[in-house]
Structure 1
Amino acid sequence: MDLLIEVTGIILNAFVMLIIIQFVIGLLFAFNVVNQSNQFLAQVYQSINSLLEPILRPIRNIMPNTGAIDFSPLVLIIGANILMAVLRSV
């Protein structure tokens, strides 16, 4: 059981890292620090977005529209941390 909890923790940590990377690349594109024609970063962003979008879309549908700010990644990170806390307490 401990091994399953540790593996789940590693997977959840990887998802949190992907969310943070997606957020940072999105900020770099939004503030024109990096041009969107940079094929490497555009491909990395698109790949991460295709992985996370099926998870983030239901959260976005539940949350109220806040305009330009998307809080669904934050909700997913908090949910992952809560899940890990629950699993570790078992």
Structure 2
Amino acid sequence: MMAIYGPLKLILDVAFFIMIAHIIMSWLINFQVLNLRQQVVASIWEGLNRLLEPIYQPIRNILPDTRPLDLAPLAAIIIVISLRDFILPTVLFG
């Protein structure tokens, strides 16, 4: 079971940290600490959006519309933490 648990936990850990980086970067852009006119910042932002949008979009379809506040990243992080810390060990190790 460790052969299955290790890679799945690693994937969920990486997804968690990518989501955290996306959230922090969105705050920095909104508070005008980072500028999207800079090529490096724009490239990283576009890459994170392309990577995470397929995860966030189905969640946005389920959640109610809270237009100025996007709750999809919060829900996705809660799902990843739940999978990583509670569901995966319970399913694999009983």
Alignment gaps of 5+ in structure 1: none
Provide the rounded CA distance (Å) in 2 between the counterparts of 1:86 and 1:23: 24
The corresponding residue for 1:3 is 3
TM-fit CA distance, 1:3 = 2.0
Native 8 Å contact 1:28 1:34 kept in 2:
yes
TM-score by length of 1: 0.92
Deviations 1:4-59, CA, capped at 9 Å, x for gaps: 11111111111111111111111111111121111111111110110110111000
Q: Write out aligned runs for 1:74-85 (5 A).
A: 74-84=74-84, 85=86
Give the CA RMSD over aligned residues.
Answer: 1.1
Consecutive aligned runs of 4 or more in structure 1 exceeding 3 Å deviation: none
Q: Write out aligned runs for 1:14-25 (5 A).
A: 14-25=14-25
Q: Aligned residue pairs: how many?
A: 90
TM-score by length of 2: 0.88
